[in-house]
């Protein structure tokens, strides 16, 4: 894929109902160049895992399909990931993970990770906002990765970094892989770090993150901001092509928009 477009969405809310699944899949089945060719559960689509489909109705029995695992000798029901893949133009793949709680009742996040060849004739923003809304996302990013966004620098020794430098380095690596909201451990005390990596071309702030949005200030600064229920979608520029064609502009707009949020919300 010469230029990959990535949609990364994170949710805490239940996504297991077919009502949610249908809203998500209907959007992708409505775009001829993105219609899935194969689906799979419990792992990505591969030559050995998954099966061919021809319509959305074939997906329903496999959406949030239950499986039973034994943990410490006791049977535990889990929801299997749902994945799809397309090998024709536009090549794409996705995995949906379902939010749940572990045996200690700690929240386990879920969401959507979608990767595709970038095509100018596809309305990516419509897909992104539909998915964020349907999944009750609290964080989401749409970004076509190219140029400076995917350049890597010589890796420094983490042991020689300050805590802030280590956090930024780990967050930068996750952003290059298309991750918007992230959690990891860092520092001598192996402390848990949670936050947003960096801004994509379009970004979704819902749930507790919606409270961090100063809509009036962001609009006054010249950014496109739209409200969906209690959530916000914010674009860095008017045109998605800027992400590939004008990295200097994108970097300037990214820094300007981050300056309108509280310090340390973004890890880079």
Residue at 13 is within a domain: yes
Q: Kindly list the averaged pLDDT for each block of 10 residues, start to end, along the chain of length 268.
A: 85 97 98 98 94 97 92 85 96 97 86 97 98 98 83 64 93 96 93 96 98 98 98 97 92 97 94
pLDDT computed for residue 153 by the predictor:
57
Residue at 78 is within a domain: yes
Q: Which domain holds residue 88?
A: 4-258
DSSP 48-115: SS-EE-SSGGGGGGGTT-EEEEEETTEEEEEEPPEEEEE-SSSPEEEEEE--EE-TT--EE-EEEEEE
Distance CA(174)–CA(197), nearest Å, equals: 7
Residue at 268 is within a domain: no
Residue at 226 is within a domain: yes
pTM: 0.93
Residue at 209 is within a domain: yes
Residue in 207, 229, 4, 7 with CA at minimum distance from that of residue 109: 207
pLDDT computed for residue 11 by the predictor:
98
Residue at 265 is within a domain: no
Question: Domains in the chain: how many in total?
Answer: 1
pLDDT computed for residue 148 by the predictor:
66
pLDDT computed for residue 151 by the predictor:
62
Residue at 193 is within a domain: yes
Q: Which residues pair with 75 in a beta bridge?
A: 70
Residue at 263 is within a domain: no
pLDDT computed for residue 150 by the predictor:
63
pLDDT computed for residue 197 by the predictor:
98
pLDDT computed for residue 1 by the predictor:
39
pLDDT computed for residue 155 by the predictor:
58
């Amino acid at each position: 894929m010469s230029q990959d477009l990535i949609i990364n969405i994170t949710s805490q809310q239940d996504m297991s109902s077919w009502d949610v699944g249908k809203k998500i899949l209907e959007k992708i089945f409505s775009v001829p160049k993105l219609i899935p060719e194969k689906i799979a559960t419990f792992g990505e689509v591969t030559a050995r895992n998954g099966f061919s489909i021809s319509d959305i109705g074939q997906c329903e029995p496999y959406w949030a399909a239950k499986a039973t695992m034994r943990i410490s000798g006791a049977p535990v029901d889990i929801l299997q990931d749902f994945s799809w893949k397309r090998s024709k133009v536009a090549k794409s793949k996705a995995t949906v993970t379902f939010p749940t709680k572990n045996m200690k009742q700690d929240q386990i996040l879920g969401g959507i990770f979608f990767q595709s060849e970038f095509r100018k004739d596809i309305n990516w923003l419509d897909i992104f906002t539909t998915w964020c809304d349907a999944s009750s996302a609290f964080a989401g990013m749409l970004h076509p990765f190219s140029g400076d966004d995917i350049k890597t620098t010589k890796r420094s020794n983490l042991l020689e970094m300050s805590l802030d430098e280590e956090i930024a380095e780990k967050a930068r690596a996750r952003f290059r892989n298309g991750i918007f909201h992230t959690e990891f451990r860092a520092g001598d005390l192996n402390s848990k770090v949670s936050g947003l990596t960096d801004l994509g071309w379009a970004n979704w702030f819902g749930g507790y993150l919606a409270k961090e949005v100063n809509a009036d200030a962001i609009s006054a600064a010249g950014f496109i901001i739209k409200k969906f229920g209690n959530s916000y979608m914010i674009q860095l520029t008017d045109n998605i092509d800027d992400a590939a064609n004008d990295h200097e502009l994108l970097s300037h707009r990214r820094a300007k928009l981050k300056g309108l949020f509280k310090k340390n919300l973004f890890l880079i």
